[in-house]
Amino acid sequence: MTLAEYFKENRYKPTFEMGERVSGRHEGIPFIGTVGNDTEISEEEVPRVSVHLDLPFPKTKSTILIVKPKTLKRLREF
């Protein structure tokens, strides 16, 4: 087995693609934004997604949130 085959079989497979529109709740506050990346830093930590928000998050005034993938929902286009 080559290294390429090993990593293809054993690496984290992202739930969301870069640029995908998502919505969710963080600390009880709803938000909408765009996925920056979906990654797993190490096996000890849970996977995380960076979301570039449409509007700044009220508590931190930041436009980027780091959240768990299971807290997000894809936005549908009409």
Q: Is residue 15 assigned to a domain?
A: no
Local confidence pLDDT in tens for the 78 residues of the chain: 899 999 889 888 999 999 999 999 999 999 999 999 999 988 888 999 999 999 999 988 999 999 999 999 999 876
Comparing CA positions, the residue from 43, 44, 41, 24 lying closest to residue 33 is 24
When divided into structural domains, the chain yields a total of 1
Q: Is residue 9 assigned to a domain?
A: no
Q: Is residue 5 assigned to a domain?
A: no
Q: Is residue 8 assigned to a domain?
A: no
Domain, as residue range, for 34: 20-74
CB-based contact 49:17 (threshold 8 Å): no
Q: Is residue 12 assigned to a domain?
A: no
- Tell me how far apart the alpha carbons of residues 59 and 55 are, in angstroms, rounded to a whole number: 12
Comparing CA positions, the residue from 21, 67, 30 lying closest to residue 46 is 67
Whole-prediction pTM = 0.83
What residues contact residue 40 under an 8 Å CB cut-off, 6+ apart?
12, 46, 47, 48
Q: Is residue 39 assigned to a domain?
A: yes
Q: Is residue 56 assigned to a domain?
A: yes
